[in-house]
Amino acid sequence: MLQRFDPGLDREREREAGRDRDRDRAVAMTTGPDGHSHRTAIGRRKVARILLQVVTAAALAVNAYVHASLAAAYDPVGQHISQGMLFRIEAAVASLAALLILVLGHRRLVWAFAFLVSVSALGAVLLYRYVNVGALGPLPNMYEPAWWPQKASSAIAEAVGAVTALVGFLITGPPLALFTRTGAPRGDKADGGGS
């Protein structure tokens, strides 16, 4: 039986062979010798970090906006240091943290700073909402046993900022593989341990 030449069929076979070669090349580029995809994991980590940077900066910006907008109303509260002044300081520090997160989000120290700013603000709003601490030295009594929309939105933003900053801190930094040599036993002089 004679086989009839079909140029379309040959082109289709060449395309399939080309796709197989391209797929094999792509797998070789993303799969390390141990079979895990290293470049893809780094890419995903970077995307996650950028997303966390945006969410954390937005939460810090909400925190800064609410404190700055309420500062004038709280200027009469306090003798030496007014509550309004504390709100302005909080707004400035939260703004600085948001800016640092956006610009230097690849540094763990910046994430730690953003976490401390968010968690301290959240701790203060919850403490003064539920406990009448009274005046502490030059600090005024900031007890307010009520929630209203601005206070609640600030507390929610501070909680979101604290969680995202903590996650950002945990995923940012060098991979663990840079700290230990594979194949070297723990405590061996090769990885810096031992005697």
Q: pLDDT at position 37, please?
A: 58
The pTM of this model reads 0.69
Q: What is the pLDDT of residue 142?
A: 87
pLDDT at 28: 39
Helix (H, G, I), strand (E, B) or coil at 188: coil
DSSP state string for 102-154: HHHTT-HHHHHHHHHHHHHHHHHHHHHHH-----BTTB---------HHHHHH
Rounded Cα gap, residues 166 and 85, in angstroms? 28
The pLDDT value recorded for residue 9 is 63
pLDDT at position 36, please? 60
Intervals of the chain under pLDDT 70? 1-42, 174-195
Each residue's pLDDT tens digit, 123-135: 999 999 999 998 8
Residue 37 is classified by DSSP as B
What local confidence, expressed as pLDDT, does residue 45 receive? 84
Cα gap 55→182, rounded to integer Å: 36
Predicted confidence at residue 78, as pLDDT, reads: 73
Residues 6+ apart with CB under 8 A from 21: none
